[in-house]
Amino acid sequence: MKISIIGSGYVGLVTGACLAELGNQVICMDKNITKISQLANGEIPFYEPQLQDLVKNNIASKNLHFTNQFKDACKNRVIFVCVDTPDNEGKPDLKNFNSCIRSILKYGKTNTLIVTKSTIPLGTNSKVETKLARHNLKHKANFKLASNPEFLKEGSAVQDFFKPDRIIIGTNDNSSENILRKIYAPLSRNKNKIIKMSLSSAELTKYAANAFLATKISFINEISQLSEKTNSNIHDIRKGIGSDPRIGSNFIYAGIGFGGSCFPKDLKALKYSKQKFNLQEGIIEKTISNNEIQLNKFYKKIINSDVTSAKNHRIAIWGLTFKPETDDLRESVSLKLINKLASKVHSLHLYDPMADYKEVANLLKASKNIFYYDDKYKAAKACHSIVLATEWKEFWELNASLIKGMTIFDGRNIYDHSYYMKYKINVVGIGL
Ligand code: UGA
């Protein structure tokens, strides 16, 4: 099938490259000319495992093309809208999304199926549907709309695309449903992954999924606070509750909280929608505030400890991205912690295996006592203690002799305290 993707960021590019790999003829569009020329040369402007090879191979097989022109992207009869909808003071900014819909109506063929993949506030698809109906009547056209929300995780997006848990098709129209069923048939062959629902249900399913996952994290973080007060062990509690299939063992790892471009933004968007519908505050709002409380508790644990209260205390920070296997710094809890700590200690010594230090320095420019390293032990050598903020694989197994006598504040609970105690390394975790 001939498919267009508008918006070539994390979601758009992964979707486009994977659909091309399935044999479709895909054209990815982005208004950013630099990005498009990089992509056309097979260079990916961000880090996502497996994506580089996928893009290169599909450019070579001529299944994947790039453009910065709406006109080119609007030649195909199926267009996935994957533009960003960034948070703007608590509500998603629809500037890019709306301008994309306007351009499709201007340049698109009159019988185009528009598929929304961007995460858009509740009620947006219904507004677009009304707009299309008006346009169709006026111009004797037949533009159609479907919602196909995204559930990919950064760091495993390609794998998630080819092995989805579910594929949501939100539409009120049979022919649109059939087109999407055809596109996704190769991913739904062994087991039916497709769940068909209305446009509005698809829209809310996306938000509800992210809000539920974030709630699980905030919940276990709250339990970790009780676990500390009662001398319990959060690992045991996690295993104890996670073994119940009704609870499940994923997303109940206590830590310094969730970040990224999705959970914080989507929770705020749901909060905003609830306010619009005059609904009372509840779990959504508490999930947001619990995430801040959790980070603050860890920050206090660091600055109130005997080690850090010493004069001229230097701390190494391991991990800057919002999670491992990505270079994404958006809403990174590590950066939030650094901002809090910077004025309280002598200096901070940062290391991350993938983050772009220029971008980090730009985000942290208010603090002058921050230094960057190309190796975790070099960063630690200059310091008295270490904060593990993002659990990249290379942090899991340490050469204890190189950090002997230090304290590790383990924000992701990955270290075995008794093992490191043998090397006089004191580990301070969460809920332990
Ligand atoms: C999230 C969802 O998991 C995807 O399904 C969804 O498609 C995506 O948002 C989106 O809306 O586009 P992502 O933001 O890539 O994916 O990251 P996650 O793997 O969900 O992690 C989010 C945060 O939760 C990270 O900061 C992570 O460290 C934290 N986390 C995760 C915990 O603190 N504890 C856990 O047990 C799991």
| 145-159 confidence digits (pLDDT tens) | 999 999 999 999 999
207 lines ligand 1 (CB under 6 A): no
228 pLDDT more than 90: yes
**Count of helices and strands (H, E) across the chain:** 17, 16
Give the distance (Å) from ligand 1 centre to CA of residue 348.
26
End position of a domain, from candidates 158, 175, 196: 196
Do 208 and 343 have their domain in common? Answer: yes
What pLDDT score does 278 carry?
A: 98
Instruction: Report the pLDDT value the prediction gives residue 382, as an integer from 0 to 100.
Output: 86
Report the alpha-carbon distance of residue 129 to residue 123 in Å, rounded. 10
pLDDT at 136: 97
Residues of the domain holding 26: 2-196
Domain of 385: which CATH number? 3.40.50.720
Pocket of ligand 1 contains residue 251 by CB under 6 Å:
yes
Distance of CA 64 to the CA centre of its chain: 24
For range 118-129, the mean pLDDT:
96
Ligand 1 mean position to 263 CA, how many Å?
Answer: 7
Residues 270 and 171 in one domain: no
pLDDT above 70 covers a percentage of the chain that reads: 100
**Which DSSP string corresponds to 143-199?**
-EEEE------TTSHHHHHHS-S-EEEE-S-HHHHHHHHHHHGGGSSSS--EEEE-H
Reduced to 3 states (helix: H, G, I; strand: E, B; else coil), residue 230 is coil
pLDDT 10s digits, 252-273: 999 999 999 999 999 999 999 9
Give, using CA atoms, the residue closest to atom 34 of ligand 1. 253
The pLDDT-based confidence of 205 (bands split at 50, 70, 90) is very high
- Dmax over CA atoms of the chain, in Å, equals 77
Rounded CA separation 350/372 (Å): 5
* pLDDT confidence tier of residue 287, bands split at 50, 70 and 90: very high
Same-domain check for residues 126 and 272: no
Buried b (16+ CB within 10 A) or exposed e, 125-148: beebbebbeeebeeeebebbbbbb
Structure tokens at 298: 């860890």
Q: Which of 284, 246, 249 is nearest to 122 (CA)?
A: 284
Question: Which of 262, 256, 381 lies closest to 319 in space, CA to CA?
Answer: 256
Is residue 349 domain-shared with residue 335, that is, in the same domain?
Answer: yes
Catalytically active residues are: 262
Looking at the structure, do residues 160 and 212 belong to the same domain, yes or no? no
Q: Is the dihedral of CA 298, 299, 303, 308 positive or negative?
A: positive
Q: What is the mean pLDDT of residues 66-77?
A: 97
- Quote the pLDDT of residue 379: 98
- Do 178 and 241 lie in a common domain? no
pLDDT greater than 80 at residue 309: no
CA of 48 from ligand 1 middle (Å) equals 15
Residues 359 and 269 both lie in one domain: yes
Whether the CB-CB separation of 316 and 386 falls below 8 Å is answered with yes
Q: Which of 275, 162, 151 is nearest to 213 (CA)?
A: 151
Structural domain count of the chain: 2
User: Can you give the pLDDT at residue 14?
Assistant: 98
- pLDDT (0 to 100) of residue 125: 97
pLDDT category, 91, cuts 50, 70, 90? Answer: confident
- pLDDT at site 241: 98
Asked whether residue 319 falls in the same domain as residue 214, the answer is yes
Q: CA-to-CA distance for 143 and 6, rounded, in angstroms? A: 16
Residue 189 sits in the same domain as residue 217: no
**pLDDT tens-digit readout, 352-393:** 999 999 999 999 987 889 999 999 999 999 899 999 999 999
Average pLDDT across the chain, whole number: 96
Looking at residue 365, what is its pLDDT?
84
Write the residue with the smallest CA distance to atom 7 of ligand 1: 151
Q: In this structure, are 282 and 420 located in the same domain?
A: yes
At 25-68, the pLDDT tens digits run 999 999 999 999 999 999 999 999 999 999 999 999 999 999 99
CA nearest ligand 1 atom 1, residue: 153
pTM of the model as a whole: 0.96
The pLDDT of residue 307 is 85
Predicted confidence at residue 33, as pLDDT, reads 96
Same domain, 260 and 354: yes
The domain boundary, picked from 169, 196, 223, lies at 196
Domain identity same for 421 and 354: yes
Task: Among 150, 165, 196, give the residue marking a domain's end.
Answer: 196
